[in-house]
Structure 1
Amino acid sequence: RFSLTNFQSLTEIDKQVILKLFELSINRYSEVRRDAQGYLFSVLNRYLFSYQVIVDRIIELLNSPGEADHDQIKGCLYILLGNHSFFLPTKHSWSMIEKLWPAMARTTHARKPTTQRLMDHINETIGKQFDTQALVEDTNDISRKAAVDLWKRLETHELESRIILRQQRNEENVKSYNNLMETLNSLLRGDSLTWRQQETTMSLMWLLLQKRVPIPLSCVRTFVDFLVHDNVELRKIAEEGIAAFCRMQKPPRIYLEKTLDEILQRPVNVDQCHPGDRDD
């Protein structure tokens, strides 16, 4: 039986339940954290975009100054790690990634071996699951015609309002992307990150490379400068970034159709040309 459970609206009571489960997920007792995290992931899977309720709280914990509670940070990292069906850092929301990824890169509360292993696992999962999200969303005539055939034709004023909304969303996505790249780049240029944090930040920047919008020149300069860094891992990531730049700058191939006469530069009887091995 097909059920549209994921399209239920999120009520205020649901938000309060999510926040309560989040607080229990960072409790000092490990059994309480483990059980609450399982229920939290189930709720977040049930409602679309419900993860936005807890993003600000996670960022607040990661950016908290001074000495943070180890159990809270550990529970927060386990929430970021998610399970087989929910993984927060790669959700398709540029506004969320703009805030979350820099907080993960510069947090100073993952210095102990247990939390550091969790952070490494999160970064590894990001590398496996992250796919380039659409910055500029657009549709062609074929898609619009198919939508009309499947549903109905919209009025002119409805189409105009949708176009305006799409343009606003595209502008917001591009702005969030540029801010994210500039923030990660400024972290690398500063002296507040350890080498391990620099590796994380560089790998995140490398994942964000794309060719739909121009990449900030400061980020390109950072990849070039890190080619001669003392850390061999940073040099490897910089090499991968430069290789990605070269692939993105590669011009498209131009295909020309030519006849056999033009290829062989002599008149050819097409009937005498057969594919396969020759008799001689």
Structure 2
Amino acid sequence: MIETLEARRYLAVDFLPRQTVRVSGDADDNVIEFTRSGGNVIITVDGVDEATVAISSISRLYVYGRAGNDQITFDPTLTFTTFIYSGYGDDTVIGGAGNDRINGGPDNDFLDGGEGDDTLFGATGNDYLVNGPGSDDFHGGPGFDWVDYSSADDDLVISLDNFRNDGVFGELDNVFRSAEGVIGGDSNDAITGSNLNNILIGGPGNDTLSGLNGSDTLDGGLGEDELYGGLGNDFFIADDSEADLLEGGGGVDTAKADDDDALTDILFFYS
């Protein structure tokens, strides 16, 4: 076992038949990097190479960010299983190609699992969770949390309903109700909110956005979009110079739209 490397930094490697590696930061703003060099992974903390470990010997890896605004990044080709706890501070975590479990802390975190079947927990704070290839789970938490699918090129179907039915066809993601905001991709997306106050952004393409309950903001982006507010006092954004369909539903609804848009059950309109 490698014990204390410095008074403020700790790295432990359990030498079992297949190793469990544990890396921890401290109260400062740490930069913890896992880079690949041939068949090895080089573990760097704040610019100092702390250890070199054979990739074939690693079964799982634990990273603890502790306090501070930390950056924890993995080479995108690393495929071992990782468990990451970012801790306090506004942290940035970017996983590799393995099946990652990334836990944000009580502040505002940016979490990107990379490839693999990842599970992202925003915890408290206003967190930003990024979709990648694989079957991923996205959990929000207290605060306003985003799930970003903007890198997707194919049609998306996303519903904030705690079921594994989200993403492109066959992706089988699960965007939980605890997330409030969703950003769609470049194609024709269907995004359905929850009972919370959601912000749904379609992006390019002919999108269908449904707010359901809550006071929602629906932004179709470019394309001929269909926006359905549902219950609650909703706000529609459809000023893209294309013919969109906007339906308010219950509540006092407001739309920023064009003259070519078709509006139903919307009390206030401006362009």
Q: Same fold, TM exceeding 0.5?
A: no
Q: TM-score, normalised by structure 1?
A: 0.32
Instruction: Indicate the structure (1 or 2) with the bigger Cα radius of gyration.
Output: 1
Q: TM-score, normalised by structure 2?
A: 0.33
Higher relative contact order (CA 8 A, sep 6+): 1
Higher helix share: 1
